[in-house]
């Protein structure tokens, strides 16, 4: 961890209790992370509708009632290929690099396995070398690529058309 450049007046440690649990309606506003993901409000709400229908379980990493991380799992899109897709995996920036993403991934893999799927898939932007390193360390291997086009409306009514070119990583769950 980076040392602060200013004078240190006190230094102490506190225990922190994290939970990984199913997303609840009360989390939705907090999943916007104080504006970082407000533009994605529609995506979050639609994902939650599918979470309730059982097609897209949403896991949150809870610290004191606040979702400081998340992993969403699309169990439906590639059901025919016995594949569950992990998406929107993120950990709040100040908590990154502490092993929390690894725990979220393991919990998400448990959900995919529990749904009877044989493979976990995750798409990674070509430039995201950090995430790629993490997935390879956890047993994921490059399996192909995919271009995804999607659109969503921001809270101010602006429609965004987006394209993401992803490398696809697979892990057999055995």
Ligand X SMILES: CC(C)(COP(=O)(O)OP(=O)(O)OC[C@H]1O[C@@H](n2cnc3c(N)ncnc32)[C@H](O)[C@@H]1OP(=O)(O)O)[C@@H](O)C(=O)NCCC(=O)NCCS
Site for ligand X, rule CB under 6 A? 89-91, 96-102, 124, 128, 130-131, 133-134
Name the residue number minimizing CB distance to ligand X.
Answer: 101
| Minimum separation from the CB atom of position 136 to ligand X (A) | 9
Instruction: Report the distance separating Cα 58 and Cα 76, nearest Å.
Output: 13
83, 120 Cβ separation under 8 angstroms: yes
Instruction: Report the distance separating Cα 76 and Cα 83, nearest Å.
Output: 9
Place of tokens 């602060």: 4
| Minimum separation from the CB atom of position 100 to ligand X (A) | 4
Closer Cβ to ligand X, 88 or 118, answer by number: 88
| Minimum separation from the CB atom of position 39 to ligand X (A) | 15
Closer Cβ to ligand X, 92 or 152, answer by number: 92
45, 88 Cβ separation under 8 angstroms: no
Closer Cβ to ligand X, 82 or 96, answer by number: 96
Tell me which residue of 87, 67, 82 sits closest to 20, measured CA to CA. Answer: 67
| Minimum separation from the CB atom of position 111 to ligand X (A) | 16
């Amino acid at each position: 961890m980076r040392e602060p450049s200013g004078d240190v007046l006190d230094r102490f440690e506190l225990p922190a209790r994290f939970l990984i649990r199913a997303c609840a309606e009360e989390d939705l506003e907090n999943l916007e992370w104080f504006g970082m993901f407000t533009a994605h409000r529609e995506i979050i709400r639609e994902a939650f509708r599918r979470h309730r229908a059982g097609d897209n379980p949403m896991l949150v990493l809870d610290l004191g009632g606040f979702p400081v991380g998340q992993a969403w799992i699309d169990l439906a899109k590639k059901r025919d290929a016995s594949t569950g897709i992990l998406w929107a995996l993120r950990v709040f920036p100040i908590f990154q690099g502490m092993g929390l993403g690894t725990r979220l991934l393991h919990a998400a893999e448990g959900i995919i396995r529990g749904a009877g799927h044989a493979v976990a898939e995750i798409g990674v932007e070509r430039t995201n070398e950090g995430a790629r390193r993490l997935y390879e360390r956890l047993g994921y291997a490059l399996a192909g690529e995919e271009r995804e086009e999607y659109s969503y409306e921001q809270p101010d009514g602006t429609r965004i058309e987006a394209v993401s070119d992803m490398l696809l990583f697979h892990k057999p769950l055995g």
